[in-house]
C-alpha cells in the first residue's frame, strides 16, 4: 500500500515538473529574426519575421496621428531596435517610430504618422524562405486612385524638355540611358484641372531618431479600444467592360489616348526568382518596365498619344488581383506583365509569352509556370481574411474568349519581335495557362518571361543595359504591330 502511494506521489511530482516546464517554454515566446520596411505611395508595409507566431494588439491615437502596436511574449532585441533606422524621410506615411519594452514580455512600437491611416495587422504562416511574419500595412484613409496617379505622373513629366530614366534602380556596372522627352497628350485638360486642386497639407517635420531614442520611455494618451484588423480601402469600382472588335476593325484613327498597363512582377516581400549571381527578378523586371514605359510615353497609335501605367513603380508588393484592378481602373487597352523565368536546372533558357487559358494549360511547363507565378500572393503576403478580396477575385473569373483571342495576337506579335533581336525563344508559340494576373475580362493581357534568370548566361544578359534596351524595343514594336492590325475602339474614358 505504501509502495503504491509512493509511486503515485512520484508520478504527480513528475507531472507538476512537466507542467512547469511547459509553462516556461510558452513564456519564452518567439525570437525576432528580421524586420523590413517597404514604403510606397499605395501603402507602407512593415514586416516582423520570427521563429514562432506573434500575437499583437494595436491602438490608434488621432491627434497627432499615431499607431501603437504591442507585441506579446517577446523581449526587446537588436533586430527590433533596427526598425528605428529603417524609416526613410521619404516614407509617405511614417514620420518616425519608437520602440521599447512596455511591460514584461511586451514590446511596444509607436509609429508617428504623417497622415491618418487605416492599419491592417495580420500574420503569415511560413512560406518559401520566410518563417512566421507579422505584417503591418498602413493604408491611407482615402485609397489611391490609379487614374489620378496617372494624371499626377503626367503633370510631373509634362514640363520636362530633356531628361532620362532616373527612376530605374541601378544594376552594378550599368549606366541608365537617357529617354526621349514625353509629349503632350490627350490628358492635358484633366491635367489642368488636377493642377488647380488644392494640395494636401504639408507633413509634419521628420522625427529625429538618434542613438538615445532606440528604446525610449513610451507615453501614449488615454487608451482607445483596440483596432480590429481593418479591411483594405474599398477599391474603386472598375468601369464596365467594353466590347472589343476581335481584330476585324480597319486601321482608322482613334480619338483618345492609348493606355498600356505595364506590370513588373513580384516586388517587396516577394523577390521572385534569384539568379546564380544573386540577381533578383523583381529588380530586373522593374528596370525593363521603366525602359518600355519611356518608349510607350514617346509613342503613338495612328497619331494618338500613348501612355504607360505601371502597377508598381518601386520595390513594394502588389497582390495579383489588385494589379488587374488597377489596369481596369485606368481602362487600359493592353496589359503586359513582365517576369524573368526560372527552373530547377540552369540548362533551361529562352524567352516565352503566355496568355490566359480557360480550359487548362497548353503544356505541363505552362501549368508549372502558372502555379509558380500564382503563388506570388502567398510569398508577398496577402491578408486572406478580407471578404472584399474574395469578392474581387471572383469578379476576375469572367475572362472572355474575345479577350483571350486578342491576347494570343498580342503575344504572337511580341514573340516575333523578341526573336528578331536575336534572343532565344523557349517556345516558338504563345503558351496558355491559368495565370491569375491575366484575368482581366476586357483587356488583352500577356505575361512575358524575358529569359531564364536561373541560367547563368541569360542572367548576365538581363543585367546588361543594352540587352534591356533591345528587349524594351522589341516589346514596343510588338505592341505597335498588334495595334496596326487591331486598332483600339474609339471611346470616351470614364474618369
Q: What is the pLDDT along the chain (495 residues), one digit of tens a residue?
A: 445 554 444 444 444 333 333 333 333 568 999 999 999 999 999 999 999 999 999 999 888 999 999 999 999 999 999 999 999 999 999 999 999 999 999 999 999 999 999 999 999 999 999 999 999 999 999 888 888 878 877 777 665 533 344 444 444 444 444 444 444 444 545 544 544 444 444 444 444 333 333 344 444 443 333 333 344 444 444 444 444 444 444 444 455 789 999 999 999 999 999 999 999 999 999 999 999 999 999 999 888 899 999 999 999 999 999 999 999 999 999 999 999 988 888 989 999 999 998 777 767 777 877 888 888 999 999 987 654 554 455 555 555 788 999 999 999 999 999 998 877 888 889 999 889 999 888 899 999 999 999 999 999 999 999 999 999 999 999 999 999 999 887 655 443
User: What's the order of all strands across the beta sheet hosting 44-50?
Assistant: 32-38, 44-50, 132-140, 117-124
Count other C-beta atoms under 10 Å from residue 293's C-beta: 25
CA distance readout (Å), 444 to 134, 399, 401, 438: 37, 10, 10, 8
CB–CB of 154/185 below 8 Å? yes
Q: What is the pLDDT of residue 399?
A: 56
Could you give the CA distance from residue 200 to residue 447 in angstroms, rounded to a whole number?
A: 37
**How high is the pLDDT of residue 329?**
92
Instruction: Look at residue 400 in the predicted model and tell me its pLDDT.
Output: 77
CA distance 390 to 403: 23
Backbone angles phi, psi at 473, to 5 degrees: -60, -45
Cα 214 off chain centre by: 30
Instruction: Give the distance between the most distant pair of CA atoms in the chain.
Output: 104
pLDDT given for residue 10 in this prediction: 42
Query: What pLDDT does 397 receive?
Result: 55
The sign of the torsion formed by the CA atoms of 262, 264, 267, 272 equals: positive
Q: What angle do CA 68, 137, 170 make, to 5 degrees?
A: 120
Cα dihedral 84, 87, 93, 97, rounded to 10, equals 10
Q: Which three cell numbers stand for residue 1?
A: 500500500
Task: Name 260's Cβ contacts closer than 8 Å, sequence gap at least 6.
Answer: 296, 306, 307, 308, 309, 332, 333, 334, 335, 336, 479
Helices of type H across 375-493: 376-380, 387-395, 401-420, 456-463, 465-485
Angle (nearest 5°) at CA 184 between 294 and 143: 70
Q: Is the peptide bond before 64 cis (omega within 30 degrees of 0)?
A: yes
pLDDT at residue 158 in the model: 63
CA 333, chain centre distance (Å): 21
Predicted pLDDT at 393: 52
Under DSSP, the state recorded for 350 is -
Residue-wise over 139-155: b if at least 16 C-beta within 10 A, else e? bbeeebbbbbbbbbbbb
Q: Residue 351 has what DSSP assignment?
A: B
Task: Say what the pLDDT of residue 237 is.
Answer: 45
Residue 413 burial class via C-beta count within 10 angstroms: exposed 0-12, middle 13-18, buried 19 and up:
buried
**Whole-angstrom distance, CA of residue 39 vs CA of residue 25:** 36
CB atoms within 10 A of CB 214: 18
CA-CA distance, 272 to 317, in Å (whole number)? 11
With left for phi above 0 and alpha for psi between -120 and 50, is residue 252 left, alpha or beta?
beta
Cβ neighbours of residue 320 closer than 8 Å, sequence gap 6 or more: 374, 376, 377, 436, 437
Q: What pLDDT is stored for residue 314 in this prediction?
A: 96
- Asked if residues 263 and 323 have their Cβ atoms less than 8 Å apart, the reply is yes
Q: What is the pLDDT of residue 302?
A: 85
Amino acid at each position: 500500500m505504501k509502495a503504491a502511494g509512493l509511486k503515485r506521489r512520484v508520478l504527480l511530482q513528475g507531472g507538476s515538473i512537466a507542467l512547469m516546464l511547459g509553462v516556461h517554454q510558452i513564456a519564452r515566446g518567439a525570437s525576432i529574426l528580421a524586420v523590413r520596411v517597404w514604403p510606397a505611395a499605395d501603402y507602407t508595409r512593415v514586416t516582423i519575421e520570427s521563429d514562432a507566431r506573434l500575437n499583437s494588439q494595436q491602438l490608434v491615437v488621432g491627434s497627432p496621428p499615431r499607431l501603437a502596436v504591442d507585441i506579446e511574449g517577446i523581449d526587446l532585441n537588436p533586430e527590433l531596435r533596427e526598425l528605428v533606422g529603417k524609416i526613410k524621410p521619404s516614407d509617405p506615411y511614417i514620420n518616425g517610430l519608437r520602440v521599447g519594452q512596455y511591460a514584461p514580455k511586451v514590446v511596444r512600437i509607436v509609429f508617428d504618422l504623417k497622415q491618418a491611416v487605416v492599419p491592417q495587422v495580420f500574420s503569415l504562416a511560413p512560406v518559401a524562405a520566410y518563417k512566421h511574419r507579422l505584417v503591418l500595412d498602413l493604408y491611407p484613409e482615402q485609397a489611391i486612385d490609379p487614374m489620378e496617379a496617372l494624371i499626377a505622373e503626367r503633370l510631373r513629366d509634362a514640363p520636362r524638355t530633356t531628361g532620362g530614366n532616373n527612376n530605374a534602380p541601378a544594376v552594378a556596372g550599368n549606366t541608365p540611358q537617357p529617354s526621349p522627352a514625353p509629349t503632350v497628350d490627350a490628358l492635358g485638360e484633366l491635367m489642368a484641372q488636377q493642377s488647380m486642386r488644392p494640395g494636401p497639407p504639408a507633413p509634419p517635420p521628420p522625427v529625429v531618431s538618434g542613438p538615445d531614442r532606440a528604446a525610449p520611455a513610451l507615453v501614449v494618451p488615454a487608451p482607445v479600444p483596440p483596432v480590429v484588423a481593418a479591411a483594405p480601402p474599398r477599391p474603386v469600382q472598375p468601369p464596365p467592360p467594353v466590347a472589343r472588335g476581335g481584330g476585324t476593325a480597319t486601321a482608322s484613327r482613334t480619338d483618345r489616348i492609348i493606355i498600356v498597363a505595364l506590370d513588373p512582377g513580384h516586388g517587396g516581400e516577394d523577390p521572385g526568382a534569384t539568379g546564380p549571381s544573386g540577381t533578383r527578378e523583381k529588380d530586373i523586371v522593374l528596370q525593363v518596365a521603366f525602359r518600355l514605359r519611356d518608349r510607350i510615353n514617346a509613342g503613338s497609335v495612328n497619331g494618338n498619344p500613348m501612355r504607360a501605367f505601371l502597377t508598381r513603380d518601386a520595390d513594394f508588393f502588389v497582390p495579383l488581383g489588385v494589379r488587374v484592378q488597377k489596369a481596369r481602373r485606368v481602362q487600359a487597352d493592353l496589359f503586359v506583365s513582365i517576369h524573368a523565368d526560372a527552373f530547377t536546372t540552369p540548362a533551361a533558357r529562352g524567352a516565352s509569352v503566355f496568355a490566359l487559358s480557360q480550359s487548362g494549360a497548353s503544356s505541363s511547363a505552362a501549368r508549372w509556370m502558372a502555379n509558380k507565378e500564382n503563388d506570388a500572393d502567398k510569398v508577398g503576403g496577402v491578408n486572406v481574411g478580407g471578404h472584399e478580396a474574395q469578392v474581387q477575385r471572383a469578379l476576375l473569373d469572367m475572362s472572355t474568349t474575345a479577350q483571350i483571342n486578342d491576347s494570343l495576337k498580342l503575344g504572337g506579335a511580341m514573340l516575333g519581335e523578341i526573336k528578331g533581336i536575336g534572343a532565344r525563344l523557349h517556345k516558338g508559340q504563345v503558351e496558355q495557362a491559368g495565370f491569375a494576373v491575366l484575368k482581366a475580362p476586357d483587356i488583352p493581357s500577356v505575361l512575358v518571361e524575358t529569359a531564364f534568370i536561373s541560367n547563368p548566361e541569360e542572367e548576365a544578359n538581363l543585367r546588361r543595359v543594352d540587352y534591356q534596351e533591345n528587349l524594351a524595343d522589341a516589346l514596343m514594336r510588338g505592341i505597335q504591330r498588334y495595334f496596326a492590325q487591331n486598332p483600339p475602339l474609339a471611346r470616351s474614358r470614364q474618369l
